A and B are shown apart, each in its own frame.
Chain A
Amino acid sequence: MTQQSLADAVGVTRQTIVAMETGTYTPSLALAIRIARVFECKVEDVFELNE
């Protein structure tokens, strides 16, 4: 899956996907859930919390 197709699937711009990948943007809970749904897995399988 490309960044653009993921962006289209969850309703954001490609730059936002890039920013999440590079760790410069933390998505909202709603966006995190939408991304997890696209990959058919749990939110914590896609994102991790750096404490």
Chain B
Amino acid sequence: MNAVEKVAWTELIVSVLASILVLALYPWMGNAALGGFGLLGLLGITPLFLRKRGKQVVRDERDVEIEKLASWFGFGTAWVLLLISMVVITMWHSHLQRDVPTSLLSVLLWAQFALCYAIKGATALVQYRGTNRAA
């Protein structure tokens, strides 16, 4: 497993764990459970995987291509879903003649952030599939 694969696994696992934690705590804690998204802060450790060690190649041209594709998928999907969900929520609440609760927008933003990194990590891992076999 190379450094960029480790980054992808970290992004996927941290995003999924944060989402599961929030979903698990929400019935008991309500909006306070959103603090569970703080786990996403662990994504800050990913640059440590990309540290150069001696003459070892950490990231090459293929890794850069895979990262670019994964980022387009992750950010693109999250952005489109964020906009669509905001339009739907606004229309629904307008239809009911109610204000959109700010807590709902907060949930939405955090969820899209987690979704973005989960898709980015998963896309990169799919690209790396099958290239870890020995000579």
Contacts and interface: CB of A to CB of B under 8 A. Distances in A.
Partners in one complex: yes
Interface of A: 2-4, 7-8, 11-16, 18-19, 22, 24-25, 27-28, 31
Contacts of B130: 22, 24
A42 B9 CA distance: 38
Range of interface residues on B (Cβ < 8 Å): 10 to 19
A27 B60 CA distance: 11
B98 interface: no
A8 B134 CA distance: 15
Given A12-B57, A31-B61, A18 B133 contact: yes
Interface in B118-135: 128, 130-135
B31 interface: no
B62 interface: yes
Given A7-B57, A25-B62, A31-B61, A15 B128 contact: yes
B2 A15 contact: yes
Interface of B: 2, 55, 57, 59-63, 128, 130-135
A50 to B, nearest CB: 19
Given A11-B57, A11-B60, A13-B60, A24 B135 contact: no
B92 to A, nearest CB: 44
B40 to A, nearest CB: 27
A27 B63 CA distance: 12
A2 B135 CA distance: 7
